[in-house]
Structure 1
Amino acid sequence: MTDNNSLQAWVSLWRAPGIGCQAFHKLLAHFGDPTAVLNANSSQLEKAGLSRKQSDAITSISLDAAKPDMLWLEKEDHHLITFLDDDYPPLLKQISAAPPLLYVHGNTQLLSDPQIAIVGSRTPTPNGAHNAFEFAKHFANMGLCVTSGLAMGIDGEAHKGALADGGVTIAVTATGLDRVYPAKHRQLAYQIVEQGAMVSENPIGTTPRAQNFPRRNRIISGLSHGSLVVEAAQRSGSLITADYANEQGRMVFAIPGSIHNPLARGCHKLIRQGAKLVETANDVMEDLAGQIDLEILTQDTPKADANAAAETPEIERNDDNSRLLAAMGYEPVSIDQLVIQTGLTPASLSSMLLVMELQGLIASNGRGSYTRLGE
């Protein structure tokens, strides 16, 4: 582990304006360590391939710039891992533009454990949220660490699913670790630190900035053997994660959905591009087993889009209930359509739909539309 004096040099260099991952690694290769970089003059820095602006930024560095980070490091379970440390995660070290520094709050050993990334929409359907939770729970029970980005929606459900039975999860954030974003996930962040780890490449004090969110996705995929996309629009951060995974030579998995669901279109696009279509958790485990020597269980595993009803009490099976379920099919359908198809009155139909929703047999999509969940 790097000592505090050296860490201060690492942090100071990382905070220098205009010094990103590429420039930092170039300097490491040339000088060996950040202390030597900070002791170099402008001529030496420019010979290492830096621009005049970059070299001026480094020669004007004050070690006081690292003070917030060093104070943060003094607190319990706060860690800084440098690219040259033995406990820097090996999978992440393989990617291009690997972060020179990792800020970690929690268990650093998890960073090198087998991981599966689960990502998706910030505004998922009930099916999507359910799938993220159940798949993450299953993966965690199989010994995998579930990695995601702490965002609302699929990310949050993935973290919660991993934690549900005492599993572990890693949240990669786009801010400094002195803050939680979104604030609604503050309690979830506390749980993640207790059972897993929060990770960031961003210095302490970094606020939410739009450009940092796509960049952090390379870390989510880079830490993981594969990335599972649960729901995603055609333009979304989840597809950026999948693109990074492809570039990094990691596996990409995608859960298909209804052709009427706009949040399924990103997954369908990935499948057309070669991502593995996933219907059950074993579809993922089979591909991961060869890499991480996990035993494949033959028991029932979470199924995409059709799992909720299996664990909920059945409603009374009278003719009206059966006719309603049959009329719903497995595509989103409006109340007006159901009135026409079943012959039931709007009042009776609304009452039945409410009961079925409470029992987990159907899900409301909003605006008077419903989707059947079970078989």
Structure 2
Amino acid sequence: MDNNIYWLWFTNIKGLGYRRRRFLLETFLSPEAIFLLEDRVLLDFLESNRMGAAGLEEELKRSKQNLAAVERYHGGLLEQGIRTLSLEDPEYPRELREIHAPPHVLYLRGTWPKADLRVGIVGSRRSTQYGRQTARILGKELAKRGVCVVSGMAVGIDGEAHWGALEGGGETVAVLGSGVLECYPPSNRNLMERIIGQGAVLSEEPVHAKPVPGLFPKRNRIISGLCRGLVVVEAAHKSGSLITAHDALEQGRDVFAVPGRWNDAQSEGANRLIQAGAKMVLGVEDILEELGIGAGKQGENSEKIEKTLDEREKMVYSCMSLEPIFLDRILSITGLQIGDLMLCLMQLELKALVEALPNRYYVRCP
């Protein structure tokens, strides 16, 4: 019988939590060996090692009798394009296998990335435009360098990092705090389908598991565990992204953070990470250099852009950044007349270099 059947049986025994499963695997080595044990032997073994076996006897008996149903369930998963990767599977990510508490089974939709190097990008759901654009640029530039971008598919920073990777023509992996057949948030349905087509969506939870709060801290260790490095873009003082950063440090991963304004609550967590020793990210080159990847000619695009602009457009463009700037501020910096400035901004918009925002704000396009 396919080993995946035994793994699915083992990880879906009600009342047999992760700690007891790990203890049994360390002793008996495989779910198949555990399945072949007599129920009484298994229960006595747990009791004698103070692991507790209350309420398991009936569940063990019932689950073993229903192994054929587990086999049918596995077949149904395959028909829906869902694969299972167990700890024994050669395709199970090596980096994840080495963490303190690796998932015993992963459910996966899509194709596992070919890229050997993976970097996580996480951050606030209540992100600013600056944070979202930064995440998108980092995701795009890393993907163009052949780096797989890993995140959690949440609104805000996570979603933008995925979109950036997709725009960069690279691979991306979304680790869910729900089952892989549950899209959360529902507004990211299109993003989820794009990720499945250009990477993978995965979870350790049963495929129909709903996104409840307790599952998100659990999934954070998987995001960091899959990666060589983790980048935090905008995180409040008590953010889930800081839990992921803590997991990354415990797993021996490189931790990066994008700085923000000192008085911005959404950047307090990231700023404090830098204060505590995280690598400051001022551009994708900082990540590539730390991970030992050649940064290449990162300035080429800027040079090409500069050649397409006249002197006034260059002056206006140089005022712009990923943070919105008020029209009056641009007037003050450049000293241009309002008519000349509006003409320059219109030309920059037509060249897809600048975007006009509500209330007379402008921002540089990523």
**Considering the TM-score relative to the shorter chain, is it more than 0.5?**
yes
Letter of the aligned partner of 2:299 in structure 1? D
In 1, distance between residues paired with 2:146 and 2:322? 33
1:20 alignment partner in structure 2: 17
Question: For 2:200 and 2:322, how far apart are their aligned partners in 1?
Answer: 38
* Residues 261-292 of structure 1, C-alpha deviations (whole Å, 9 max, x = no match): 22111110111111001101110111111xxx
For residues 108-123 of structure 1, the aligned pairs below 5 Å read: 108=112, 110=114, 113-123=116-126
1:144-223 equivalences under 5 Å are 144-223=147-226
After superposition, the C-alpha distances for 1:312-337 in whole angstroms (9 at most, x for unaligned) are x979959xx97xx98x99988889x9
Alpha-carbon distance, 1:165 to partner? 3.1
How many angstroms apart in 1 are the aligned matches of 2:132 and 2:225?
Answer: 24
Partner of 2:236: 233
Any conservation in 1 of the 2:321–2:364 contact (CA below 8 Å)? no
Identity of aligned residues (%): 35
CA distance change for structure 1 residues 119 and 57 in 2, over 3 Å: closer, same or farther? farther
Alpha-carbon offset, residue 168 of structure 1? 0.4
Q: Is the 8 A contact 1:127 1:373 kept in 2?
A: no
Q: Does 1:62 align with 2:63?
A: yes
Match of 1:278 among 281, 293, 302: 281
* Alignment correspondent of 1:46: 47
Match of 1:295 in 2: 294
Spell out structure 1 runs of 4+ moving beyond 6 A: 313-316, 328-335, 354-360
CA distance in 2, matches of 1:36, 1:59: 14
Alignment CA distance shift 1:143-1:330 (3 Å):
closer
Amino acid at match of 1:59: L
- Unaligned stretches of 5+ in structure 2? none
Residue type matched to 1:87 in 2?
A: E
Please tell me the residue identity of whatever aligns with 2:295: I
Which stretch shifts more, 35-44 or 257-266?
Answer: 35-44
Match of 1:102 among 100, 103, 106: 106
For 2:165 and 2:134, the matched residues in 1 are separated by 12
Give the Cα–Cα distance (whole angstroms) in 1 for the partners of residues 121 and 44 of structure 2.
Answer: 46
Q: What displacement does 1:369 show?
A: 9.8
Tell me the TM-score normalized by structure 1: 0.79
Contact 2:258 2:281 in 1 (8 A): yes
Instruction: Number of aligned residue pairs: give it.
Output: 350
**Cα shift at 1:71:** 4.3
Pair 1:141–1:160, CA change in 2 (3 A): same
Is there any run of 5+ residues in structure 1 with no aligned partner, and where?
none
- Deviation at residue 175 of structure 1 after TM alignment: 0.9
In structure 1, the residue matched to 2:260 is 257
**1:303-357 per-position Cα deviation (integer Å, ceiling 9, x unaligned):** xxxx9xx79x979959xx97xx98x99988889x97xx89xxxx99xx99x9799
Normalised TM-score (structure 2): 0.81
CA RMSD in angstroms, aligned pairs only: 3.8
Please report how far the alpha carbon of residue 13 of structure 1 lies from its aligned counterpart in structure 2 after TM superposition: 2.2
Name the CA shift for 1:187/1:361 in 2 (closer, same or farther; >3 Å): closer
Q: Which one of 7, 10, 13 corresponds to residue 10 of structure 1?
A: 7
Task: Kindly state the Cα deviation for residue 45 of structure 1 after the two structures are TM-superposed.
Answer: 3.3
Q: Is contact 2:121-2:151 (8 Å) kept?
A: yes
Closer/same/farther in 2, CA of residues 233 and 373 from structure 1, 3 Å limit: farther
Rounded Cα–Cα distance in structure 1 between residues aligned with 2:103 and 2:300: 35
Q: Offset at 1:58? A: 5.2
The answer to whether the 8 Å contact 2:15/2:56 transfers is no
Q: Aligned pair in 2 of structure 1 residues 13, 295: CA closer, same or farther (>3 Å)? A: same
Distance change >3 Å, CA 329–CA 33, structure 1 → 2: closer
